[in-house]
Structure 1
Amino acid sequence: MRLRNKPWAKPLIEANPQWVVTNPSEYRGKWQERFEKAQPLYIEVGMGKGRFIVEMAKKYPHYNFIGLEMQTVATGIALKKQLVEQLPNLQLVCANGAGLTEFFATDEVAGIYLNFSDPWPKNRQEKRRLTYKSFLAAYKEIMVADGQLEFKTDNRGLFEYSLASLNNFGMTFEKVWLDLHADEEAVVDNVMTEYEEKFSSKGQPIYKLAARF
């Protein structure tokens, strides 16, 4: 969902280059330089307003995290959270996620999160879905051999499509949840996004999968 323009967002991003990267291709293969110390690197493609990636960085200080978002306003909102937290293991990137292999080197990423991605429901929009085979190929290229892909959505159609797409790509499913919040064990470690809290509070099932190449 595209957010309303906020005049403060772009100047805020430009004033905080220590937290936000707008030229990610320059750090390809060198992302660890952006962090306090070298640690396994996890990225969220389409971080939205940043709740998930900020909370993950707080919960797992022994990992480094990057939140990738193409919308300037959403990045600005996420940046506000980071300015409060000042997390040394978190960086934000304002750029189009379609260029992942230009931004990250082979085997540079330990894991990828896809949360509540745009479903692009029309058949002609299939190639834009973040679980389409071309995106999966990019994830495979930048992730380490045992890296894990996690995907969450409230959209059953997109989830079913994603299950088929990953299966056809030859991926191995670690676990599949058809109602994540009904699994008491899963909920204990679950970090919610803004959308997830909104939809689950209405009783809508949240679908999740964890898979490896």
Structure 2
Amino acid sequence: MRLRHKPWAEDYINENRHIVPEQPERWQGRWSERFEQRAPLHVEIGTGKGRFVNELAASNPEINVIGIELMESVLVTGVQRAADAPKKNLQLLQADVKDIGDFFAPGEIDRLYINFTDPWPKKRHAKRRLTHEGFLNRYVEVMNRGAEIHMKTDNQGLFEYSLSSLTSFGFYLRDVSLDLHRSGWQGNIMTEYEEKFFEKGMPIYRLEAALHQ
């Protein structure tokens, strides 16, 4: 899919630095101060246009929520959503997930969401998958013991790979679904991609993976 350039995105983000901190590494280990409340911290990596994190924060004021997205022209839509409906418990970062250790202190994250990430189907690109061992090593450095990863995807190959990768790394799996929207699972928040796939009748794969305490 071709990314549409939005020349106004940089200015808009700069006008909303209360939502997108300019130097997020300054808040490493201190995010509760940025949010003005001490609460469990939930982070979505590859947050895209921000529908998921905005709805997550709105429906769960008792947690703090951060969405990480690298592409400025994509992130700006999430910023617009947050500015139009302000939430004290939501922040957005323009950052690369590979640098996650620069923005969070050890043990600071209670839950990570990986939603509809690029499957990188070719074997030679496996290291780019966000559930590859290389990324899992980065995640566990900033996750609490007992913290969770929640993942959704429409790609069966990526899902099967992730099941294997997570269990091999030492996570234990629960609430694994091969067709989320026919499973009766409650509390689901859709992403933009998920809605498109659901409308086409495609199955959505979902899992929860937790670290042993």
Query: 1:24 offset after TM fit, Å?
Result: 2.0
Indicate if the aligned counterparts of 1:68 and 1:97 stay in contact, CA closer than 8 A: yes
Task: Tell me, in whole angstroms, the C-alpha distance in 2 between the residues paired with 1:36 and 1:54.
Answer: 18
| C-alpha RMSD over aligned residues | 1.0
Task: Tell me, in whole angstroms, the C-alpha distance in 2 between the residues paired with 1:18 and 1:84.
Answer: 13
Instruction: Give SS of 1:148's match.
Output: strand
1:112 aligns with 2:112: yes
Alignment of structure 1 residues 111-190 onto 2, 5 Å:
111-184=111-184, 186=185, 188-190=186-188
1:212 aligns with 2:210: yes
Name the count of aligned residue pairs.
211
% identical equivalent positions: 46
- Unaligned 5+ segments in structure 1 are none
Alignment of structure 1 residues 6-45 onto 2, 5 Å:
6-45=6-45
Q: Which runs of 4+ in 1 moved over 6 A?
A: none
Instruction: Give SS of 2:7's match.
Output: coil
Task: Tell me, in whole angstroms, the C-alpha distance in 1 between the residues paired with 2:97 and 2:208.
Answer: 20
Instruction: Give SS of 2:33's match.
Output: helix
Alignment of structure 1 residues 195-210 onto 2, 5 Å:
195-210=193-208
TM-score (norm 1): 0.96
> Residue deviations 1:170-202, cap 9 Å, x none?
110022100000012x1x310000000100111
Which residue identity does 1:37 align to in structure 2?
Answer: Q
- Unaligned 5+ segments in structure 2 are none
Q: 1:22 to 1:161 in 2, by over 3 A?
A: farther
1:191 matched to which residue of 2?
189
Query: 1:22 offset after TM fit, Å?
Result: 3.7
Task: Tell me, in whole angstroms, the C-alpha distance in 1 between the residues paired with 2:34 and 2:93.
Answer: 11
2:53 matched to which residue of 1?
53
Task: Tell me, in whole angstroms, the C-alpha distance in 2 between the residues paired with 1:51 and 1:2.
Answer: 20
Query: 1:2 offset after TM fit, Å?
Result: 5.5
